[in-house]
């Protein structure tokens, strides 16, 4: 740890190029550099505009180290029927490799936890790739519990369209 200045702030539409750059950096880290289909227009619509006719569908926090943006967290609201409360789903958390070890990831999660408590959410949840041992260890150090009995499922692309059309 150093005495570097950390600042967590809400992203604005002026950050679209930065957010897209961080998404590409995350995809490269997760060994999927060609998987990103996001565009500035789609990000603008869903982070700052009218995603589904109700306002933005997701939010983004930017982590700065000594005034330089070095990471982000993208999240949205989910809902727990058992708790009858909203929750926060953390879709992506990423800190540039050169900026790791300064507390940016922790600061992003602290802000998410603060928002969850402020919004009367029952929990904050996310997924992590099973090979990402540094992230898994980091999350455990914060008190996160891996839900190993759950399997994430996903419908996308043609399978999603086929089901929607059935």
Q: Name the helix (H) or strand (E) containing 147.
A: none
User: Rounded distance, CA 36 to CA 61, Å?
Assistant: 19
CA neighbor of 56 nearest in space, from 72, 45, 40, 70: 45
CA neighbor of 108 nearest in space, from 143, 62, 67, 76: 62
The single-letter DSSP state of residue 145 is: -
Contacts of 159 (CB under 8 A, 6+ apart): none
- State the catalytic residue, choosing from 72, 75, 94, 139: 139
SS (H, E, C) 9-30: EECCHHHHHHHHHHHHHHHHHC
Q: Look up 29 and say whether it is catalytic.
A: no
Annotated catalytic residues are 139
């Amino acid at each position: 740890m150093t005495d570097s200045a950390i600042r967590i702030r809400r992203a604005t539409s002026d950050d679209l190029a930065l957010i897209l750059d961080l998404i590409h950096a995350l995809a490269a880290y997760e060994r999927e550099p060609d998987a990103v289909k996001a565009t500035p227009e789609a990000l603008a619509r869903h982070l700052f505009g009218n995603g589904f006719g109700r306002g933005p569908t997701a939010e983004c926090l930017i982590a700065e180290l000594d005034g330089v943006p070095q990471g982000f967290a993208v999240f949205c609201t989910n809902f727990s029927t058992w708790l009858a409360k909203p929750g926060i789903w953390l879709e992506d958390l990423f800190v540039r490799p050169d900026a790791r070890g300064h507390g940016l990831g922790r600061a992003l999660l602290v802000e998410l936890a603060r928002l969850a408590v402020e919004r009367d959410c029952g929990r904050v949840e996310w997924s992590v790739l099973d090979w990402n041992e540094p992230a898994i260890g980091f999350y455990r150090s914060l008190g996160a519990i891996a839900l190993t009995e759950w399997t994430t499922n996903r419908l996308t692309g043609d399978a999603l369209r086929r089901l929607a059309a059935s």
